[in-house]
Copies of this chain bind each other. A is one copy, B any other.
Amino acid sequence: MGRAARAAARQIAAADTSVKNRALKAIAGELKSQRALLMAANALDMQAGREHGLDAALLDRLELNDARIEDMIEGLVQVADLPDPVGEIKDLRYRPSGIQVGKMRVPLGVVGIIYESRPNVTIDAASLCLKSGNATILRGGSEALRSNKAIAVCIAAGLRAAGLPETAVQVVDTRDRAAVGALITMPEYVDVIVPRGGTGLIERVSREARVPVIKHLHGVCHVYIDDRADLQKAFDIALNAKTHRYGVCNAMETLLVAEAVAVDILPRLARAYEEKGVELRGCARTQEILPSCNAAREEDWSEEYLAPILAIRVVAGMDSAIEHIVRYGSGHTEAIVTRDYSRGRRFLSEVDASSVMINASTRFADGFEYGLGAEIGISTDKIHARGPVGLEGLTSQKWIVLGDGHIRQ
């Protein structure tokens, strides 16, 4: 598969934008016409999953229904509509020697994606890699194998219809866990690995990979309400960042509140959270202000709840808030609410995270909200791609030099 992917990568890298778009739309057409087959394959996965005692959340993620197939089709059309990043030339400038030097955007080559139960990731990942000119090897969860194989048949048919090699997108067709081990240790065939899934998967891949990894580890996001915050905005943002959705990586997990405004804002916020059924776990000072609040343990400050639970800490001011974020944050998304220009400027500079925000909800940290059109994930790495990763994150650049017989003196 590695050799086939490497060969296909050259063809897909050289493919015109129109050919890649034709393939994306042909895959969408296949999904539409093969809907009954997809549902049947998925029904078998669901049945096996129930027999193996998968929990309700996993079964929900595994399920394909009409709405989800519609979303996959819509996603393909959207990716086809995005601008093609490949071949973009930037900063082409004359140098004193007379040569022109610039940078051209190029595909990475072969992208390996390792993910868990959701079969729609198969289409998301395949479409982004295809549009960015990469060949892909997809390794989905074994519980979704039949669904993924049915989707792979549609992808192959779409590629064929556009005259592209079917091996440009390959789905690993085995439940053998050794396949992951092989995929992440073949730098000669795989240029980058994107693991998508639980912490266990990502830690294993990071530990064992001999191929570069673009990964998302934890999302322990903070909102800090400064003593110079507009309290109505602070209220709106703190509520939105926690309760807009719970199971997402950009949800706030810990709220930091400046001592000077804690008595003003925490009781109002606590009532709003309670109405939404959010459990609060606070520091000692928070418990003084909110007597019904549970006590936060040390572990709570590092916890990614992904649930209606919120840790709250009252801090002396911005410096203490930044100290807390440096110590417990995961480098995902951090926000300050303040009216103070200097503090906003300092927070922006001094907090090191993939997204840093002033007066906005952490929930905005997302490829669609940032205008990337689509995302293959959110990277908490510092190297290569950071934050939401769209088509550009799946490309590299090469230097180009245009001369007219120039030699080095």
Q: Let me know if A381 is at the binding interface, CB within 8 A.
A: yes
**In contact, B383 and A370 (Cβ under 8 angstroms):** no
Mask, A338-382, CB within 8 Å of B = 1, is 000000000011101111111111011100011100000000011
Residues on B with C-beta less than 8 A from A182 are none
- When A349-B14, A360-B402, A402-B360 are in contact, do A396 and B408 touch as well, CB less than 8 Å? no
Q: Could you tell me the distance between the alpha carbons of A401 and B344 in the complex, rounded to whole angstroms?
A: 11
CB distance from A330 to the nearest CB of B (A): 12
Interface string of A107-125 (1 = CB under 8 A from B): 0110000000000000000
The answer to whether residues A352 and B109 also contact, given A207-B210, A361-B407, A382-B191 and a CB cut-off of 8 A, is yes
**A141 proximal to B (CB < 8 A):** no
Per-residue 0/1 for A196-212: is the Cβ within 8 Å of any B Cβ (1 yes, 0 no)? 00000000001100101
Indicate whether A95 reaches chain B with its CB closer than 8 angstroms.
yes
Of A44-52, A164-172, A384-392, the one contacting chain B is A384-392
Binds B, one of A32-40, A228-236, A274-282: A228-236
A257 at the interface (CB under 8 A from B): no
Asked if residues B369 and A97 are in contact (CB atoms below 8 Å), the reply is yes
Q: Are B360 and A403 in contact (CB under 8 A)?
A: yes
| A255 beta carbon closer than 8 Å to chain B | no
Is residue A104 within 8 Å, beta carbon to beta carbon, of the partner chain?
Answer: yes
Query: In the assembled complex, which residues on chain B have CB atoms less than 8 Å from the CB atom of A232?
Result: 405
Residue A326 at the chain B interface, CB threshold 8 Å: yes
Q: Which of A189-245 contact B (CB under 8 A)?
A: 191-192, 206-207, 210, 212, 230, 232-233, 236-237, 239-241, 244
Task: Say whether A357 contacts B400, CB under 8 Å.
Answer: yes
User: B210 and A370: CB pair below 8 A?
Assistant: no
A interface: dominant SS: mixed
Closest to A396 in B: B382
Contact of A295 with B by CB under 8 A: no
- Is A93 in contact with chain B by the CB < 8 A criterion? yes
**Contact A236-B405, Cβ < 8 Å, known A210-B207, A370-B95:** yes
> Nearest residue in B to A93 (C-beta to C-beta)?
B371
28 interchain pairs, CB-CB under 8 A: A14-B350, A87-B349, A95-B370, A99-B364, A99-B369, A104-B348, A109-B352, A207-B210, A212-B381, A230-B405, A240-B407, A241-B407, A244-B408, A353-B398, A354-B398, A355-B398, A355-B399, A355-B401, A356-B400, A357-B401, A358-B402, A359-B405, A360-B402, A361-B407, A364-B401, A364-B408, A386-B396, A386-B398
Sample of 17 more A-B contacts, CB < 8 Å, known A192-B382, A236-B405? A10-B350, A95-B371, A104-B349, A108-B382, A187-B206, A191-B383, A241-B407, A335-B401, A353-B398, A358-B401, A358-B403, A359-B402, A360-B403, A360-B405, A383-B396, A386-B397, A388-B399
